[in-house]
Structure 1
Amino acid sequence: MITPATRNWVATKQHPIFRATITMSVSPGTDIPGRKKTLLVSVLIFVWLAGSLFGLWWFQQQSLRPFVEADAPAESRSPDIVEQGLAALLKRVSAEYPESSDALVTVVHLWNPDCLCNNVSARHTRAIIEQWPEGDEVRFVILAPETLPENRLAEARKLNPNALVMRASANDKLPLTASPGLAVLSQNASLAYFGAYGFGALCSLSDEALFTNMIERLLAGESYGPFLNIAGSGCFCAWPDPTQLPVE
């Protein structure tokens, strides 16, 4: 027999609020897999951050060094000697690429293909080449180590059709200490800039348009420098010892 009290109890059991209460009472037990997933994600993020910090520390220990070491020869800090060495290099460039002799500005990119730091300076070299791709006003010279084998030199020329790829020569007496680096000279081989693209792990500059603005000033007939930007540390590789013979 169903009494009024029984009917009220059944109605209460069927009420939406009652059902919600039942659902809420069992939800903590069903949320355990979600908690485990959140914990796992947190652990993975922590491991990733720790690995990134360790990788940055390792990178700094392996790659960060002065552009010119403290015990480097004094010639590497002399604007006059650097300018003389670059002038000798430009004579060789004009002899090998006579069609480039009329360029108003010469940019020399110090390049060691085995250096892991090339990527951090790529944006600077790309900005210069993209702004003056033809080479009529600005010729872009890639200076490779004297130890670079002929086959790799030919490959570099093939991959850089808008650049003049040369090997360094001891006869130039150019005091090279590190790469990547940059030299900018006017048409009469007057030195405007020599040194690093930038300093720090990312080769950063306070003015990212520094080099393009410098070249534009030289093209306009203005004087600039000489400026040696060598006092700082960043991602650099020591310039290969020229006494090591190329290996084919």
Structure 2
Amino acid sequence: MKTTSGTIWRAGLTALLLVVWLAGLVWAFWWYEGRYVRPFDRPAFFNGVAVAPPFAVGQVQVVHVWQPGCPCNAGHEQYIAEMTERFTALGVQFAVAGAENEEKGGSPFKNLPYWPIPEAWADWPGTPSIAIWDATGRLAYVGPYSDGVHCNSQSSFVEPVIRTLLSGRSVNITSQDTVSCLCELR
């Protein structure tokens, strides 16, 4: 009889410990998710207050606004490097803004000059994003590269803007609501 009650007691204690352990795992997952897992595909409003471009007027100018370590960067890096190289050959000038660090925002920007974000843009909605000026120094586009996590020449908002400006036509997309993969600029 003693063996049976001892076995039941041990089985009950084991079950209780298992329930406490599972509850601890559920709590830890809930805490981790609430603290570290954030939705990055979010609505944002880009309102590009006109500021002077980073270089002297005369050429189309592009500033990549970048936050190193943003999970949204991964879907854009290869496209940005390729696009920057291709349009630089056509006379477009590029710079990088955002968090200045020793890497200048990461590998796609290692050779680009750093441009500090103007005070008028202190509430910039997120990164990765971009600002484009026409050859006269007028702000033509502010916003994300695309509306998704990944960007390529087919999904890019940027390429049609640059091509239009290079053809001598004007663009004015400086205020827009968007839903895109964005991280806060620190």
2:172 maps to amino acid: G
2:88 counterpart of 1:133: yes
Contact map agreement 1:67 1:196 (CA 8 A) in 2: no
Structure index of larger Rg: 1
RMSD of aligned residue pairs (Cα, Å) = 3.0
**Distance across 2 between alignment mates of 1:209 and 1:65:** 16
1:19 corresponding residue in structure 2: none
- Give the structure, 1 or 2, with the largest relative contact order (CA under 8 Å, sep 6 or more): 2
Determine helix, strand or coil for the equivalent of 1:128.
helix
Contact map agreement 2:46 2:124 (CA 8 A) in 1: no
**Paired residue for 1:203, among 146, 150, 168?**
150
**Distance across 1 between alignment mates of 2:156 and 2:124:** 25
Q: TM-score, normalised by structure 1?
A: 0.50
2:164 corresponding residue in structure 1: 217
Count matched residues: 150
**Distance across 2 between alignment mates of 1:222 and 1:132:** 17
Q: Deviations over 1:72-106 (max 9, x none)?
A: xxxx554xxx232xx24x2xx33xxxxxx255111
2:49 counterpart of 1:83: yes
1:181 corresponding residue in structure 2: 129
Give the gaps of 5 or more residues in structure 2: 1-32
Contact map agreement 1:192 1:226 (CA 8 A) in 2: yes
Question: 1:223 offset after TM fit, Å?
Answer: 0.9
Q: TM-score, normalised by structure 2?
A: 0.65
Contact map agreement 1:106 1:138 (CA 8 A) in 2: yes
Q: Deviations over 1:87-142 (max 9, x none)?
A: 24x2xx33xxxxxx2551111111011312111122431232121235x7211111
Give the gaps of 5 or more residues in structure 1: 1-57, 69-75, 95-100, 241-248
Contact map agreement 1:105 1:186 (CA 8 A) in 2: yes
Contact map agreement 2:104 2:114 (CA 8 A) in 1: yes
Where do residues 66-81 of structure 1 align in structure 2 (5 Å cutoff)?
Answer: 66-68=42-44, 77-78=46-47
Aligned-pair identity (%): 21
1:112 corresponding residue in structure 2: 67
**Distance across 1 between alignment mates of 2:76 and 2:46:** 22
**Distance across 1 between alignment mates of 2:69 and 2:153:** 28
2:173 corresponding residue in structure 1: 226
Write out the 4+ residue segments of structure 1 that deviate beyond 6 Å after TM superposition.
none
**Distance across 1 between alignment mates of 2:68 and 2:156:** 25
